[in-house]
Structure 1
Amino acid sequence: MSEQTLSEAEYDAVTEAAAQWCMRLHAIDCTVDERLAFKQWHDAHPLHAFEYEAMLEIWDVADHLPRTESAAPPAQLKPQTQWRTWGMAAAVCLITLPLGAYTGWNLGWVPSSYERFEADSRVRQVTLSDGSEVELNLGTVLTYSNYKDQRRVNLKKGEAFFKVSHDTQHPFVVKAAAGQVRVTGTQFNVWMYQDQVRVTLLEGSVVVSSNDTRPGDGFRLGPGMQARYKQGDYEPQISQTYASDTSLAWRSGKLILDNLALDDALPLINRYLGTPVMAADTATGALRIGGIYNINDVKNLVPSLPKVLPVYLTRNEDGNPVLNAIPQRPLKN
């Protein structure tokens, strides 16, 4: 293909090929030869790689399409694979077939809008197409999809503060790790690191589910309440926050560690690091740390820890820094 500007037909052909490759590579019977053929196609032109990445974003949207009973799964496909395939096909309609997209919207399969936001080295404020305002912490990536029956955010990583536009007929759902937060209009914060999630409510009410396959089993939070969950939790842990709570200090550019055990502090620290630091054992994890740090300088915190704690740094076989407690010498009689 020429490096010059592509015709509309050529561009559409690349888009269609990217969609087909995305569906094929996610199929359970995709072969090694097919994967090699895909790599050759992917590397043949920069546009191929660009369009395929765009299709992966759409595939992610398809993963959250509402399950309806109007489409029976083909017998040879597993249910999850079938729904992803149906969803991907519907999402491709959004790009290539306006009539199909309109039908998909009415059925609740295809969003009328899809947005992706990312905050890298600075806090970022964005306004979603529904008017909701979102503040993204450093290293945060999320997507927003507007469906006929609900508004959906997928928090891929990081932390975000939401001011949701009130709409009782059009719920706002935030998916984070294995669970989700469901609201109609309110202000709340969602922090996520790996499979750990913490939801802090400032105003209004939210329903938090730790397992998004059972969203009806969620727990309702009121202002000043917090929910925590991680992968595998049947239900979230609910607690009350107090004036001393530092969960939202990031909005002022700060990470505050208030005399926390290292086991509790490290996820907060690692959220800002490219390579996470680990505690060598339970004795190290029990050591306590405090202080106020600039979120842009957290990367400089790890090398300084041996200066403020009785620890020394090593690295494991994966190259991750590891904190090791210095053994305490017994007192002489």
Structure 2
Amino acid sequence: MQHTTIQEQAVDWAIRLHDGDLTAAERQALDEWVSENPEHAAALERARRLLGDTGSLLVADPGFTRRQLRRGRTGGIPTVTILLASLIGGGLFVSLDGLIWLKADVTSAASETPVITLTDGSRVHLNGKSAIAEHFSAGERRIELLKGEAYFDVTEDVDRPFIVQAGGGEVKVTGTAFDVNLVDGGTEVAVTQHGVVVTGRDEMQSVRVEAGEAVFYDTAGAIGSVETLPADLAAPWRSGRLVFERQRLASVAAQIFRHIPGRVVVARPSIANKRISGSFDLSNPADALASFGEVFNVRIVRAGDLLTIIY
């Protein structure tokens, strides 16, 4: 009997054990299967140990689990092991997102891009899976970008500056339009009208960014150089496109998943850190994801709306 067949049978038994008590006939069949070969008992123990507390998630789609086992190994990493490890680790990420949603005043779900009018008349266009908190006072208009990306069209008020706090820095304006994007490793700011002042955590470091320009600062607040940005590349998501140049593959995947339910995990660092450039149509996110896999020669498996693994 081939090793892959033993794996498949072991997972099948593990799922059935997890799903409830076996009948007497099923219990006898399991006992006979285990006693046939020492490898059977070891495979069952591995499958049950891997399922663990994540079993309920995989039982919801046992066919997916079995199909991943049939694929065997890719690059030396068992796909099902990646899946299970990601699900286990996902508990932490879910709890962290939970804190964000509790803190937020406005949120958007996957593929939602709502436009919100603030109390001062300014408008905020949220990308998918994004969240903001509003902190307005008599002296300032402060918005905290907690997650994702937002485009701000700010009503002018010279007496009350408008400040967007995001990642390791903040953007200060009196009245203008600009995009703020929380990406892997930092924050991107792109200006479409007038100008803004970007300040890192160290208030001694700040730069002015004019219309048609963009700047990136990292999570520590260190600000990079100001770069010229073509008008059509400032917040292209508002027109249904994702445009990127020499970005990490993991960061681009995360931005695609602002329009697709569930989480994405890039399984191997060598793939996650690959620098890529391109453009995708986000009007059909599923097709964009499929094209992404083909163009950049990566394999993609999905567990419904729960999890997607790129490897």
| TM-score interval, smaller chain | 0.5 to 0.7
In 2, Cα distance between equivalents of 1:219 and 1:306: 37
Alignment-derived partner of residue 278 in structure 2: 290
Alignment-derived partner of residue 152 in structure 2: 162
* 274-283 or 165-174, which deviates more: 274-283
Residues 178, 283 of structure 1: alpha-carbon distance in 2 compared, 3 angstrom cutoff: closer
SS in 2 for 1:276: strand
TM-score when scaled to structure 1?
0.53
Q: Give 1:267 shift.
A: 4.6
* 198-207 or 257-266, which deviates more: 257-266
In 2, Cα distance between equivalents of 1:290 and 1:148: 44
* 144-153 or 116-125, which deviates more: 116-125
Are residue 215 (structure 1) and residue 220 (structure 2) matched?
Answer: no
Tell me the alpha carbon deviations over residues 221-246 of structure 1, each in whole angstroms, 9 at most, x when there is no partner. 11111011121243233211124x53
Q: Give 1:161 shift.
A: 1.0
Instruction: Give the alignment partner of residue 226 of structure 1, picking from 201, 204, 214.
Output: 214
Residues 192, 138 of structure 1: alpha-carbon distance in 2 compared, 3 angstrom cutoff: same
Q: Give 1:170 shift.
A: 0.7
> Which amino acid in the other structure matches residue 311 of structure 1?
V
Are residue 183 (structure 1) and residue 173 (structure 2) matched?
Answer: yes
Q: Give 1:254 shift.
A: 2.3
> Which amino acid in the other structure matches residue 167 of structure 2?
A
Contact 2:249 2:271 in 1 (8 A): no
Alignment-derived partner of residue 268 in structure 1: 255
Alignment of 1:95-244 (within 5 A): 116-120=105-109, 121-193=111-183, 195-211=185-201, 214-243=202-231
Contact 1:178 1:195 in 2 (8 A): no
Q: Using CA pairs under 8 Å that are at least 6 residues apart, name the structure with larger relative contact order, 1 or 2.
A: 2
In 2, Cα distance between equivalents of 1:147 and 1:155: 17
TM-score when scaled to structure 2?
0.57
SS in 1 for 2:131: strand
Are residue 322 (structure 1) and residue 310 (structure 2) matched?
Answer: yes
Tell me the alpha carbon deviations over residues 212-268 of structure 1, each in whole angstroms, 9 at most, x when there is no partner. xx335311111111011121243233211124x534221122223568663663353
SS in 2 for 1:311: coil
Alignment-derived partner of residue 40 in structure 1: none
Q: Give 1:207 shift.
A: 0.7
Residues 173, 283 of structure 1: alpha-carbon distance in 2 compared, 3 angstrom cutoff: closer
- Structure 2 unaligned runs (5+)? 1-98
State the number of aligned residues.
207
In 1, Cα distance between equivalents of 2:292 and 2:192: 33
SS in 1 for 2:299: strand
Identity %: 28
Instruction: Give the alignment partner of residue 251 of structure 1, picking from 218, 238, 243.
Output: 238
The structure with the largest helix share of the pair is: 2
In 2, Cα distance between equivalents of 1:204 and 1:289: 28
Residues 119, 193 of structure 1: alpha-carbon distance in 2 compared, 3 angstrom cutoff: same
In 2, Cα distance between equivalents of 1:193 and 1:288: 15
